[in-house]
Amino acid sequence: MTNLDHILSLVRHGAQLRNPDDGSLMPLTEDFYRRAVKACHTGGYNAATYDLVLPGIEDEMGLCI
């Protein structure tokens, strides 16, 4: 499974990302993933982390891109 395959699996399961500024939720999308990877390369950092929310799961989770 590639990284993109994993992201798309999360998308199919309704994954969302929590905005750290106001706690609102935004959908995880392939476009978001591609922009995050590009930002890592452009910014010269190895990874970026996000709060991940999946329907029906109350535990805190994270997504590292």
* Mean per-residue pLDDT pooled into runs of 10, the chain (65 residues): 95 95 95 96 95 95 95
Give me the pLDDT at residue 20, please.
Answer: 87
Give me the pLDDT at residue 1, please.
Answer: 86
What residues contact 29, with CB distance under 8 A and at least 6 apart?
11
Separation between Cα atoms, residue 21 and residue 3, nearest integer Å: 27
CA atoms within 13 A on the CB side of 1: 7
Full domain range(s) for residue 42: 3-64
Total number of domains constituting the chain: 1
Other C-beta atoms lying within 10 Å of the C-beta of residue 50: 19
Q: What one-letter code names the amino acid at 33? A: Y
In the numeric block, which tokens belong to residue 19?
Answer: 């905005």
